[in-house]
Structure 1
Amino acid sequence: MPIISAPHQFNEHDLFVDLRASLGVPLYLKCEGMNFAGSIKQKAAVSMIEAAERAGRLRPDSVLVESSSGNLGVALSLMAASMGYQFLCVTDSRCNLGARRLMEVFGARVHTVTEADPVTGLLGARLDHVRRLLDSDDRYVWLNQYQNPENWGAHHRWTAPAIAESFPDLDVLFVGAGTTGTLMGCARWFKEHRPGVRIVAVDSAGSVSFGGPAAPRWIPGLGSGVRPAMLDEAYVDDVRIVEEVDTVRMCHRLAARGFLFGGSTGTAVAGAAAWLAEHDPEGRLTAVTLSPDLGERYLDTVYQTNWVQDIYGNAVLDDIRHPAEHAVKVPAMSA
């Protein structure tokens, strides 16, 4: 039985959902929301703060600052509360109310950027705000998840080996792309240790990460308005782009079977299901994707009828009410 003295000391590494029963898709979903931060971002938060301490960057009066769309902000808030640091999160209007409230409960301050940069969007505006804070006070310490090697290093150290241990016959791994920390950590590990595993990045439509045109995005987590500094496409075998309406549909399909996951999970599963339908129609491959978080923080957005209707229109609500008509058809796995 686990006994801990700090919240970040617990993380469930080995929980997978076989989605064949729920979706008819030959895909295993690694659930990363089973920790006190509620998301995969706890790993990066632990890794980045501990590295900053080892490097002597943190003093007793230091104020951690980070740009986050939600989950990393919650994880850093939890860590700061546990370790006695102050924390300021710079987010934007897409951040879920539940995530902002959680950060504040842990004692963090939250600055919300509402005006997008005309070129780099809301993310660029957030980063500009962080730089202004750094210039204003030398107590601020920016962990910089976008360039910090401890971001991808956490997944190279923990996430990828856990997947490999559970699935020694893995053929393809689907990883959602945000900062690309999870993607690059997993991709680097598998290219080093299991180069036969195919790495497929899943990104949101409207993200510029893989060269697509910028467009408004409403669901936080995956995607970026600025090309991720950590991204090295040499480690990525394929890319699947997912429209947000398909993210919403997939989240509701999973909820209808009792699995309440976050928006990034809906994107990852929708992208993986579409890729498998195209590349593995007989269901012979062993495939895994990751669920970064659970769905409670999305009750006011992805799972709220008025929000979905206002953003995506009535047609999506019809799809949700009649999911069988819009399901991705993937044959059962061969015996």
Structure 2
Amino acid sequence: MPVITVPQEFNEEDLYVDLEPMFGHRLFLKCEGFNFAGSIKLKAATEMVESAERSGTLTRDSILVESSSGNLGVALSMIAASKGYPFICVTDSRCNLSTRLMMEALGSQVHVVSEEKGAGGLLGARLDYLRGLCASDDRYVWLSQYTNADNWRAHYFRTAPAIAHSFPQLDVLFIGVGTTGTLMGCARWFRGWHRPVRIVAVDSVGSAIFGDPPGRRMIPGLGMSMRPPLLDETYVDEAVRVVEADTIRTCRHLAKRGFLFGGSTGTVVSGAMSWLARHDTDGLTPVAIAPDLGERYLDTIYQTNWVQALYGDDALAAPAGSEAGSARGTAP
């Protein structure tokens, strides 16, 4: 029986969902949302905060600041509350209302950026605001999830070994990309494993991570409007892009089977199913990482009026056949 004193001490590491009965292709989904932060971002947040404390960068007088589209902000809000740090999360208008309210309930201050900054878009505006904060007062400590190596180290030391322990015959691993912390930590770890593992990155159409032009993205979580500094493409075997309508179809299809997952998970599952449909999967052991749960998307992905207004009625249809949509795959 686990007994904890701070919320970050608990994280369910060994829960998987077999998706074959729902989609017709064998795929084991590693569920990372069962902790008090509700997403995989708890691992990166914990590693970054504790590393900053060990180095002396983060002290009792510090004020934590970070840019986040949602899940990391919640994780840092929780950790900051448990440790007594003030925290300012800089987000943008795509952040779900429930996520902003959750951060505020945990005692954080949320600053919402609504105007884009040149080619960097809303993310560029968020980063500019943070630079201004840090220049104004040396008490501000910006962990910078986009450049902080502790972001990927969290998954090198925890996520990847846990998957290897559960699936010693793993063949292919599907990982959603944003900052690419999860991707790079897992890819680096499996590069030195006893058997080859194909690393497939799953991105959103409209993301510029792999060199595509940035476009409209309304679902927070995966994707970026610029190339992530942490990304090293030599560790990536393939990238799959998923349109947001397919993300919505997949999330809603899972919900009809009783599994309420978030937008990032819907994107990963959609991309994985598209890849599996195009390959010979006989005897293959595939795993996908589900970063989040779905409660924070009740007013977006699971709200019919919101979906119809932005994507039309087609996005409400079930995934074509037993597969999860029309994602397209290319080399990274």
* Both structures adopt the same fold (TM-score exceeding 0.5): yes
TM-score norm. by structure 2 comes to 0.96
Q: Return the offset for 1:325.
A: 4.4
Cα RMSD (Å) = 1.3
Report what 1:148 is aligned to.
148
Report what 1:220 is aligned to.
220
Q: Would you say the 8 A contact 1:62–1:85 is kept in 2?
A: yes
Report what 1:161 is aligned to.
161
Q: Would you say the 8 A contact 2:67–2:91 is kept in 1?
A: yes
Report what 2:100 is aligned to.
100
Report what 1:308 is aligned to.
307
Give the letter for the 1:254 counterpart. Answer: L
Give the letter for the 2:272 counterpart. Answer: A
Q: Would you say the 8 A contact 2:69–2:92 is kept in 1?
A: yes
Q: Return the offset for 1:125.
A: 0.8
Q: Return the offset for 1:26.
A: 0.7
Q: Return the offset for 1:329.
A: 7.9
Q: Supply the distance in 2 between the matched residues of 1:230 and 1:33 (Cα, whole angstroms).
A: 23
Report what 1:333 is aligned to.
none
Q: Does 1:328 align with 2:314?
A: no
Report what 1:293 is aligned to.
292
Give the letter for the 1:51 counterpart. Answer: S
The superposition leaves residues 115-150 of structure 1 with CA deviations (integer Å, 9 ceiling, x where unpaired) of 111211111111011101111111100000001010
The superposition leaves residues 135-186 of structure 1 with CA deviations (integer Å, 9 ceiling, x where unpaired) of 1111100000001010000000000000000000000000000000000000
Q: Supply the distance in 2 between the matched residues of 1:122 and 1:81 (Cα, whole angstroms).
A: 27
In the TM superposition, 1:26-105 aligns within 5 A as 26-105=26-105
* Structure 2 gap ranges (5+): 326-332
Q: Supply the distance in 1 between the matched residues of 2:253 and 2:324 (Cα, whole angstroms).
A: 13
Report what 2:24 is aligned to.
24
TM-score norm. by structure 1 comes to 0.95
In the TM superposition, 1:167-206 aligns within 5 A as 167-194=167-194, 196-206=196-206
Aligned residues: 325
Q: Supply the distance in 2 between the matched residues of 1:15 and 1:186 (Cα, whole angstroms).
A: 17
Give the letter for the 1:307 counterpart. Answer: W
Q: Supply the distance in 2 between the matched residues of 1:230 and 1:211 (Cα, whole angstroms).
A: 14
Q: Supply the distance in 1 between the matched residues of 2:122 and 2:54 (Cα, whole angstroms).
A: 32
Q: Return the offset for 1:101.
A: 0.5
The superposition leaves residues 279-312 of structure 1 with CA deviations (integer Å, 9 ceiling, x where unpaired) of 12x5431000011110000000010001101110
Q: Secondary structure at the match of 1:188?
A: helix
Report what 1:15 is aligned to.
15
* Structure 1 gap ranges (5+): 331-335
Q: Would you say the 8 A contact 1:24–1:329 is kept in 2?
A: no
Q: Supply the distance in 2 between the matched residues of 1:15 and 1:107 (Cα, whole angstroms).
A: 30
Change in Cα spacing, 1:279 to 1:107, as seen in structure 2 (3 Å) is same
Q: Secondary structure at the match of 1:225?
A: coil
The superposition leaves residues 89-132 of structure 1 with CA deviations (integer Å, 9 ceiling, x where unpaired) of 00000001111011001100000000111211111111011101
Give the letter for the 2:286 counterpart. Answer: A
Q: Secondary structure at the match of 2:119?
A: coil
The superposition leaves residues 187-239 of structure 1 with CA deviations (integer Å, 9 ceiling, x where unpaired) of 00000224500000000000000011110100000000010000000000011
Q: Secondary structure at the match of 1:162?
A: helix
